[in-house]
């Protein structure tokens, strides 16, 4: 049974680490906050004092952090993973970051004989808790095969998509589709509500047709209840769409719809709603139409 170091115990990382413990893995955890470390220790984990300490003795190191700078600091910075790993240790970054950052970090680890995978996830907190995340993986295929069983403990779908950075390119594509889907659902339900038609009945009528989607099924009940507890915070989706914009600009790919939704989310952030679930995007449309979509 492989020994795992796990760095980053936030909304997503904490339940993911717990699922590894439930599967019988020996897990050493680190976070900048003591509270989640204590919670994981109570569940059977060992505590580390730094990312490098979590990596010491581990065969696989998993990082789950907010964005590229946090991952670079945790892996390459002082006291970072790079100081604790030994040749042959596999680093799996499950954060959603810029593909170019994954490639940069991998290039720094490679001379130490440490292969890396970028393996971002989709599904939010509920799927992290019940271990049904979709995991998209970039990096050497032979390395992927070595850790697939571990990843399968945290996700229902684990797919190797290409070379290092490919996982995060796939995640950016995912986040574009999710953001635009939430925007379309919000726009449609605000229209229905303003027209005097029950948004709940509209949802029931269309969810089984071509417009139906996993996003709709997950987010419309939250919208109808006015429940914007994350889930997946607007500020994190802003981060993902900004990474998508940067990557698209580097490649010369226009993504105008993503840019529009990004600005809607930025407006909500300015309005103090950055910590809302991204289903809270409906509030942007509600403000324009001066009506609320509720049961």
Q: Mind listing the domains of the chain with CATH numbers?
A: 3-163 (3.40.50.720), 169-289 (1.10.1040.10)
Query: ω into residue 55 within 30 of 0, thus cis?
Result: no
Range list of β-strands (E), the chain = 3-7, 26-30, 46-47, 60-63, 90-93, 116-118, 121-122, 133-138, 155-162
Contact 18, 42 (CB under 8 A): no
State residue 1's pLDDT score: 60
Picking from 178, 8, 33, the residue whose alpha carbon sits closest to that of residue 93 is 8
Tens of each residue's pLDDT in the chain, 295 residues? 689 999 999 999 999 999 999 999 999 999 999 999 999 999 999 999 999 999 999 999 999 999 999 999 999 999 999 999 999 999 999 999 999 999 999 999 999 999 999 999 998 888 999 999 999 999 999 999 999 999 999 999 999 999 999 999 999 999 999 999 999 999 999 999 999 999 999 999 999 999 999 999 999 999 999 999 988 899 999 999 999 999 999 999 999 999 999 999 999 999 999 999 999 999 999 999 999 999 9
Contact 171, 155 (CB under 8 A): no
Q: Around 65, how many Cα atoms within 13 Å sit in the side-chain half-sphere?
A: 26
> What is the C-alpha R_g of the chain?
20
Contact 225, 235 (CB under 8 A): no
Tokens read off for 127: 């799927």
The single-letter DSSP state of residue 4 is: E
Residue 253 burial (CB count, 10 A) = 10
* Cα 216 from Cα 52, distance rounded (Å): 41
Contact 133, 154 (CB under 8 A): yes
Q: Which of 14, 18, 127, 171 is catalytic?
A: 171
Active site residue 171: yes
Tokens read off for 242: 């900004």
């Amino acid at each position: 049974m492989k020994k795992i170091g796990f760095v980053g115990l936030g909304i997503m990382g904490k339940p993911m680490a717990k699922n590894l413990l439930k599967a019988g893995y020996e897990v050493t955890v680190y976070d900048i906050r003591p509270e989640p470390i204590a919670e994981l220790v109570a569940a059977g984990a060992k505590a580390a004092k730094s990312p490098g300490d979590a990596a010491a003795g581990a065969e696989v190191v998993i990082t789950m952090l907010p964005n590229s700078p946090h991952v670079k600091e945790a892996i390459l910075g002082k006291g970072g993973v790079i100081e604790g790993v030994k040749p042959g240790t596999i680093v799996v970054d499950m954060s959603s970051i810029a593909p170019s950052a994954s490639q940069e970090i991998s290039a720094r680890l490679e001379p130490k004989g440490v292969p890396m995978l970028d393996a971002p996830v989709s599904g939010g907190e509920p799927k992290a808790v019940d271990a049904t995340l979709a995991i998209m993986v970039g990096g050497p295929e032979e390395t992927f095969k070595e850790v697939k069983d571990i990843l399968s403990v945290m996700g229902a779908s684990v797919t190797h998509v290409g070379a290092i950075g490919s996982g995060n390119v796939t995640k950016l594509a995912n986040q574009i589709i999710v953001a635009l889907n939430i925007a379309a659902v919000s726009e449609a339900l605000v229209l229905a509500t303003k027209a005097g038609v029950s948004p709940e009945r509209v949802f029931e009528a269309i969810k089984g047709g071509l417009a139906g989607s996993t996003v709709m099924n997950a987010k419309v009940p939250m919208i109808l209840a006015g429940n914007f507890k994350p889930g997946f915070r607007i500020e994190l989706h802003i981060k993902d769409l900004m990474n998508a914009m940067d990557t698209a600009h580097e490649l010369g790919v226009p993504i105008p719809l993503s840019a529009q939704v990004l600005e809607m989310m930025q407006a909500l952030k300015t309005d103090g709603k950055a910590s809302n679930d991204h289903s809270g995007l409906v509030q942007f449309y509600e403000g324009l139409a001066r009506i609320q979509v509720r049961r």
